[in-house]
Amino acid sequence: MTQSNSQIREYLNFLIVERGLSQNTILAYERDLAKFTSFNSIQDFSEITSPMLENYVSHLRSVGLSESSIARNVVAIRNVATFTCKELKKINPISEFKPPKAAIRLPKALTIQEVSDLIEATNRTDDPHSIRDRAIVELLYGTGARISEIVNLDLSGVSKIDGGEVLSVRLEGKGGKVRVVPLGRYAQDALDQYLVRARPGLIRKDRDALFLNDRGTRLSRQTMWKVVSEAAERAQLAVDVSPHALRHSYATHLLDGGADVRVVQELLGHSSVTTTQIYTLVTIDKIRESYSSAHPRARD
C-alpha cells in the first residue's frame, strides 16, 4: 500500500469511527480519492499543491463532470490533506483552495395528482408484492425518508399504540442521527395492510427487517428503486420519478400547505435549516408564477 493510499484509509476510518458516516458516503469518498491518486500519482497528501488540484479540476471538466460533482471531489481531496497535515503537524498547502460553486438546482417535486397516480399504480393485484409495494411508496412519500432509511428500517422501528395502528416510524439518517416521523392515515393503512396480510408470508430468514423479499431477507436498495420506477411506468408519468423525488415532493407539499420550515427540517433530518430552505425557493417560484398570471398589473 502506497503512503497516499494509507492516508486515505486512515481518513476513511476516521469518518467511520468518529463521524459515523454511512457506508454509501464512505464508498463515494473512496472512489473520488482513488481517481485523484490515479490521475496524479501522488505519494503524500501533505505535499499536494494548488496547481495540482487546478489541473485535476480542469481534467474533470474535460470529461464532462458536473460542477457539483467536481466540488465534491475537491472537498474530499482537501479534507484528506487537512486530516493528514494535522496528523503530521504540517501546514495544509491547499487549505484556501475553493471548490467550484455549483448553481443551485431546485429539487423536482411531483404534483399531488402525480403522487396519487404513482401510488395507485402499485395496485397490480391483491398479492403480497402489491401490498408491500404500496406500503413502500406510501411510506417514502408519507415520511420523506431517504431510500436507505426505508431499506434499513426494522420492524422495531415501527411504533404502534397498544399494539394497534401504526403511528410513527423511527428512522436513522446520515451520521446515525435518529428521528421519529409521524405517519398520516394513508401511510398508516398501507403499512398496517402489509404487516397483517403480506409480511407474515414473507418471513423466513430475517425477522428484523421491515420490508422483505421472496427469500425472506431484507429488500435491497435496487429492488426498492425498481418498485418506484415500475409504478411510475405503469402510471405513465411524463416526469422522471425516483425514491428521492418522493422526498422532494414530501417537503414541497408540506411547505405549500403552510408547514414551518423548522418543522420540515426536523422531519427530513437535515442538520441545517439552510438545506431545507432550498425547498422554499420552489414554493416562492409557484407564488411568483401565480402572481404573474393573476395580478392585473403583473401581466403584459
Active site residue 11: no
Q: Per the structure block, which three cell numbers stand in for 253?
A: 407539499
Active site residue 146: yes
Which is catalytic among the residues 134, 247, 248, 253?
A: 247
Which is catalytic among the residues 132, 146, 218, 253?
A: 146
Nearest to 136 by CA among 194, 213, 182, 203: 194
Q: Per the structure block, which three cell numbers stand in for 173?
A: 439518517
Q: How far apart are CA 215 and CA 219, in angstroms?
A: 9
Active site residue 270: yes
DSSP 6-57: HHHHHHHHHIIIII---HHHHHHHHHHHHHHHHHH--S-GGG--HHHHHHHH
Q: Please give the radius of gyration of the chain, using alpha carbons only, rounded to the nearest integer.
A: 23
Measure Cα distances from 230 to 67, 148, 223, 269 in Å. Answer: 31, 19, 10, 28
Residues 6+ apart with CB under 8 A from 133: 122, 227, 231
Which stretch of DSSP H or E encloses residue 168?
A: strand 166-172
Active site residue 279: yes
The answer to whether 278 touches 106, Cβ cutoff 8 Å, is yes
Measure Cα distances from 66 to 70, 71, 73, 125, 196 in Å. Answer: 6, 9, 11, 42, 46
Which is catalytic among the residues 160, 179, 244, 286?
A: 244
Active site residue 141: no
Active site residue 61: no
Which is catalytic among the residues 72, 174, 234, 286?
A: 174
The catalytic residues are: 146, 174, 244, 247, 270, 279
